[in-house]
Chain A
Amino acid sequence: MKSHLQFGLRPRTYAEKKALWGFVCVLPWLLGFLFFFFVPLLTSLRYSFSSVDASAQGVTVRFVGWSHYAEALTINTSFNRTLFESIANMVVNVPLIVIFSLFLAVLLNQKFIGRTAARAIFFLPVILASGIIMRLDSTSLVQAINEANAGANIMNTFTSYELAGMMMEAGVSETVVDYLTGAVDRIYQIVSQSGVQILIFLAGIQTISPQLYEASKMEGATGYEAFWKITFPMVSPLILVNVVYSIIDAFSTNAMTELIRDTGFKSFNFGLSSAMAWIYFLAVSVILLISTFVISRKVFYHD
């Protein structure tokens, strides 16, 4: 093994050997990255500027400039609406998911009877709420009729109605009330999308040293104060991580990806589909950049 590596004249130093091995370790990934990611990415960019004909003879590509982009944004009937809807959905849901998962992580970190069972249940959505199951679930008729029978729907609207009335009377602005009651009504959607985020926050909270809490307790801080002065700043880097993860997750499967796929594989308009995918990618990047910029200014780093 050793002689095999020493094809140079002088024996390699430890650092050099490590660098060589590092390259060997990364090599499989690098090949995959080039063949299945980087080249396709560039090809997709090229396709978006050209008309693509896939026939039995192979693929013929003709440059057409910006026309696919213009078509997606001005002619295609559903693109703008779908793009706007998925972005609006994301903007509404991501803050809720992050706040909710931080709250639950704090809760699940406390000691109480049945904590292991509760944790197991809260991570269950990581397994169940992905891909096809989620999509079929939303169309289940039996679920709907059962809910109507059991009066769950009536109960639901009733509670959030009461809540809305109370908050309105307390003088909270209408948009805020709508947002919060909407969150109550979509609780399952939010719970089922926050599994991984709870895991990340929980892991983060457990790295905070207990001395900090002890010291603050000695000084007379309440649990509420300890949360805002210790837990919150200490996990703030993870808030950034979770916001990024939630955004990516929200964008990985939604109506937009469906539309892009259908354009590509049902109407075989590869050029238009690539153009849509690139507009979509750019929109996602802009949102990620803005949110990263805004949050990272507030983040507290220990070192």
Chain B
Amino acid sequence: MLISRWLSIEVWKRRLWSFARLVLIAGLSFVILYPILRKIATAIKDRTDLYSPIVVWIPEHFSLDNFRKAIEIMSYWETLGNTFALSAMTTILTAMSCALAGYGFARLKFRGSGLLFGGVVLTILVPPTTILIPVYLNLKDFTLMGLVPLLTGKSVNLLNSYWPFILTSMTAISLKAGLYIFIFRQFFRGIPKEVEEAAYIDGAGVGKTFTRIMLPNALPAIITVLLFSFVWQWNDSFYTTTYLTSSKVMSIQLSSLPYNLAILLTDGVNSRADPFYMSMVQDTGILLAILPLIIIYIFVQRYFVESIERTGIVG
């Protein structure tokens, strides 16, 4: 019995496959994790270890000096607070407005709603660069169809404040909002109609059905959208560098990090900073910027991985 099991080709085929799968997955995981591990290894190194040929992963002289430098240059704690506030705000507003719009498109059909949904698809397809300049000029002299000058006498400049983010996320047109509306619509379409009808017969209006029945059922979709929108807002440099020019937000700090580093680390006019050392501090800065995201991801990844399977993006 035992020998026949050992000799069976089926068993060996299965073992071979699971071994190949293990190698593949381990290898690719390493490819993904490699840059992060590399950054950690670089960040805890002392400057003297940079050129040492024997130091590859584990530093000879452990030091947190890089962190101190990067925190100082990026004014890290202030930046962290600002970025967190901005991302959380836009995330929550976007999720609310997109859930509403998604529900409207999925279940509450009215004349022309199909056409308007075509508009949603259009917002996904058009590259944001195409509309960048008019939006920019519009926000610079914000009039809201001539309403603002009526009240205050002149148009307001909304640039360099959080207002562009608040306005666009309240009206579900912010970064990748079309995708979120699509996700919500697909999800709400997957909830059986009978549930809704039962709620109506029990005396719930449309609004109550939405808040009491539909939203609690849509939790996976909500988590997915919250996470995507938070992360993408956190990393976004396209809108952030356009709307905000001098605010201390993570992506701006990161994009000006090489420049700031060069100023700080160059002592005199003639002496040039060591480019490898600069790169070392820059890597530490990147690590500091993504660290909060990784910590959040560790906590929510199981909801994320589970929920995506039930979001019905697939429709």
Contact = CB atoms under 8 A, between A and B. Distances in A.
A25 B108 contact: yes
For B50, B127, B172, B210, the residue with the greatest tally of chain A CB atoms inside 10 Å of its CB is: B127
Interface string A185-211: 001100110000001101110110000
Contacts, number: 277
Q: Which label, helix, strand, loop or mixed, suits the secondary structure of the A interface? A: helix
Nearest to A134: B235
A131 B235 contact: yes
Contacts of A23: 104, 108, 110
B181 interface: yes
A64 interface: no
A143 B130 contact: no
A2 B204 CA distance: 11
B131 A257 contact: no
A150 B54 CA distance: 10
Q: Which label, helix, strand, loop or mixed, suits the secondary structure of the B interface? A: helix
Contacts of A120: 297, 301-302, 305
B123 A33 contact: yes
Nearest to A59: B137
Interface in B281-307: 282-283, 286, 289-290, 293-294, 297, 301-302, 304-305
Contact of A14 (B167, B172, B200): B200
A203 B130 contact: no
> For this complex, into which size category does the number of interface residues on chain B fall?
35 or more
Contacts of A19: 108-111
Contact of B130 (A137, A140, A188, A280): A280
B308 interface: yes
A248 B125 contact: yes
Given A32-B168, A120-B301, A253-B238, A40 B138 contact: yes
B260 interface: no
Contact of B116 (A30, A260, A280, A285): A30
Contact of B33 (A1, A107, A121): A121
Nearest to A110: B21
Contacts of B129: 256-257, 260-261, 277, 280
24 contacts: A18-B110, A20-B110, A24-B104, A25-B101, A26-B101, A26-B104, A29-B101, A29-B120, A29-B173, A35-B138, A59-B137, A121-B33, A126-B231, A131-B238, A139-B279, A141-B276, A142-B279, A188-B31, A188-B34, A191-B31, A203-B308, A248-B125, A277-B132, A280-B130
The 5 closest A-B pairs by CB, nearest first: A32-B171, A22-B108, A25-B104, A32-B173, A40-B134
Interface of A: 1-2, 14, 17-26, 28-33, 35-41, 43-44, 47, 54, 58-59, 104, 107, 110, 112, 116, 118-128, 130-133, 135-137, 139-143, 145-146, 149-150, 187-188, 191-192, 199-200, 202-204, 206-207, 238, 248, 251-253, 256-257, 260-261, 264-265, 270, 273-274, 277-278, 280-281, 284-285, 288
